[in-house]
Structure 1
Amino acid sequence: MPSSPGLHLVQLTDTHLFANEQGEMKGWQTARSLQAVLQAVAQLQPRPDLLLLTGDLSQDETEESYRLLLRLIAPLNIPAVWLPGNHDQAIAPMERVLSVFPASTQKCLQLGGWNLVLLDSSQFNQVSGWLADDSLAWLDQQLCQFADLPTLVALHHPPLAIGSAWMDAIGLQNREALLATLDRHPQVKLVVFGHIHQAFEQERQGVRYWGTPSTCVQFSPNVDEFAIDSAQQPGFRQITLYLDGGYDTQVVRVAVAASSDAVPSG
């Protein structure tokens, strides 16, 4: 008999919102595309138990952009946890705004028979990621404390090379330190991240690593230099976590037209 699902998650990442709801990033009105994605999330059955927001939630790093995010997700009435990305330098207003329901500042939570651990891989004034020693120590502590629970770890920056030279240069710079920590804890099943604006999946030593499309502009996979993937739509990731430690996932794409001045892919 298949195991019963313990938790239904939706991962949303790289929303890149502005204080101005009409703000654009590389030809995409980011609030408009996020609204389309959220409309798709609202139709999901079964209803998600949790939204997992994995960084670059703002593009202009204003308090108003986080208020816009909260206003857009509030009608779903689904609890949301979040972590910062490299575009989320304004940590104080981010924490202040995103501490109000449905958002929460909680970074380690036990739900549906799973342990969920959220890491901050952002660096001040840097595009690439880094996990500070105290963050790695905290992760190790949480994994020791909840060693009996299958675990999902989330961060913004990819902890593996994804096959695009320009993106690999701005991923998690001390990835080996994170991987060494995860290797000590066999209950870790999943690592999910954003930053790459594309779907990605790879297995390493029994752990699945999932990168998720942005809710706005998409980046071309497997290229040496930055390029827009105009063939792919915004999206999100559904994740089902089962009580026996199993899991399922799918990436859902949402049809949204970019603005007329979208950056070409060539």
Structure 2
Amino acid sequence: MPSYPVSKINTPDAQVNILQITDLHLSTPIDFMTASENMNSNEPTSCQHSFEKALQQALDKDIRCDLILVTGDLVNQIQPAIYNHIFEVLEATDIPFACIAGNHDVTDDVDGHLPFEQRKLIGRPADARLLNQHVIETDHWQLLLLDSSVTGKVAGEIAPADIDWLLDRLTTCDKPALVALHHHVLPVDSAWIDSHMVENSTDFWQCVAGFEHLKVVTSGHVHQEQTQQHRGVSVYSTPSTCYQFMPNEDGFAYDKDAAPGYRWLQLANNGKVASWIERLDT
């Protein structure tokens, strides 16, 4: 069984296939009907069920998975037992994996029944297994994992020390680079969630300016699929394995018609990347 956290990946063809899952939002280690119960649906989503089903569906595909990358909001309630269960499920795949924190991993939302803007937020310490300033090296790529979460807040930030670390990594290693974090670094044209993106995203883009070997930035948080190109970088947002947010909405809204999803990132040995979204079969 691969040790955690993984720091080196070698593959027979020097290509790396990454399965990105994000925004699991588990609330107990057993089936739990989440906030999607408030969507006036007759069949509310079970985040526990859809997480495990999405993972199994992805791994049943005819594609080798070299890394499972979990980009934050593993839980909806910060309890060690929930993290233990998630890690047990991931370890059972016998595939290297890595997990970073999202806002829900450092902040408890204690008034989920209230409108989003009225909820009370309580800061909590992050689980020690969630990574920051972590490098995963492959034959031809460097994967750079950052923690953009801020205790007690929904919005994200990349701390000055993390920006310095990122600058150092990009300066000292010229392998094609992928940066993974929870919060998005480009607006997605939904005013409410864009008010909770990386607040110092300008600093981030100034840091990486000029590094042509930065190829990919991938994140979660927005519960929807986005693909953008910015300064030569492919910038991806990935759907939740649970419920989805309505795209292009200024106010908080669920997308009742969008199924849970996940992203594949295929990193070639020539620095090229292919990426696509798959949705949970219904």
Q: TM-score range by the shorter chain?
A: 0.7 to 0.9
Give me the whole-angstrom Cα distance separating, in 1, the residues matched to 2:14 and 2:216: 16
Alignment of 1:11-30 (within 5 A): 11-27=20-36, 28-30=45-47
- Find 2:85's aligned residue among 68, 86, 97: 68
The offset of 1:74, in angstroms, is 2.3
* Mapped contact 1:7–1:112 kept (Cα < 8 A): no
TM-score, structure 1 as length reference: 0.88
Distance 1:91 1:154 in 2: 21
- Deviation track 1:20-79 (CA, whole Å, cap 9, x = no partner) reads 412232232211110110111221222200011100011101111101111222221111
Match of 2:144 among 114, 117, 124: 117
Farther off after superposition, 71-80 or 21-30? 21-30
Q: Give the share of equivalent positions with the same residue, in percent.
A: 33
Alpha-carbon distance between aligned partners in 1 of 2:17 and 2:62, rounded to the nearest angstrom:
10
Report the CA distance shift for 1:86/1:140 in structure 2 as closer, same or farther (over 3 A). same
Residue in structure 2 matching 1:136, options 146, 152, 163: 163
Q: How many residues align?
A: 245
Q: Distance in 1 between matches of 2:148 and 2:269?
A: 29
- Counterpart Cα distance in 1 of 2:154 and 2:95: 30
Please give the per-residue CA displacement for 1:132-161, whole angstroms capped at 9, x wherever unaligned: 1101001111111212x0000011000001
Unmatched tracts of structure 2, length 5 or more: 1-12, 37-44, 107-123
Secondary structure in structure 2 of the residue aligned to 1:209 = strand
In 2, Cα distance between the equivalents of 1:30 and 1:164? 23
Gaps of 5+ in 1: 99-103, 257-266
- Of the three residues 10, 22, 25, the one matched with 2:19 is 10
Which moves more between the two structures, 228-237 or 39-48? 39-48
Contact 1:34 1:216 in 2 (8 A): yes
Dislocated runs of 4+, deviation >3 Å? none
Equivalent residue, structure 2, for 1:57: 74
Q: Residue in 2 aligned with 1:261?
A: none
Report if the CA contact (8 A) 1:51-1:80 is conserved: yes
1:5 Cα offset (Å): 5.6
SS of match in other structure, 1:87: helix
1:38 equivalent to 2:55? Answer yes
| Aligned-pair Cα RMSD in Å | 1.6
Residues 123, 116 of structure 1: alpha-carbon distance in 2 compared, 3 angstrom cutoff: same
Mapped partners of 1:20, 1:13: distance in 2: 17
How far apart, in 1, do the equivalents of 2:184 and 2:244 lie? 16
1:223 corresponds in structure 2 to 249
- 8 Å contact from structure 1 (residues 18, 64) kept in 2: no
Partner in structure 1 of residue 223 of structure 2: 197
| 1:167 equivalent in alignment to 2:176 | no
CA apart distance, 1:162: 0.4
Quote how far apart the aligned CAs of 1:106 are. Answer: 7.5
What is the deviation of 1:232?
0.6
Residue 213 (structure 2) aligns with: 187
Deviation at 1:105, TM superposition (A): 7.5
Whether the 8 Å contact between 1:81 and 1:105 is mirrored in structure 2 is no
1:124–1:106 Cα change, 3 Å: closer
Task: Give distance in 2, aligned partners of 1:105 and 1:184.
Answer: 23
TM-score computed with the length of structure 2 as normaliser: 0.83
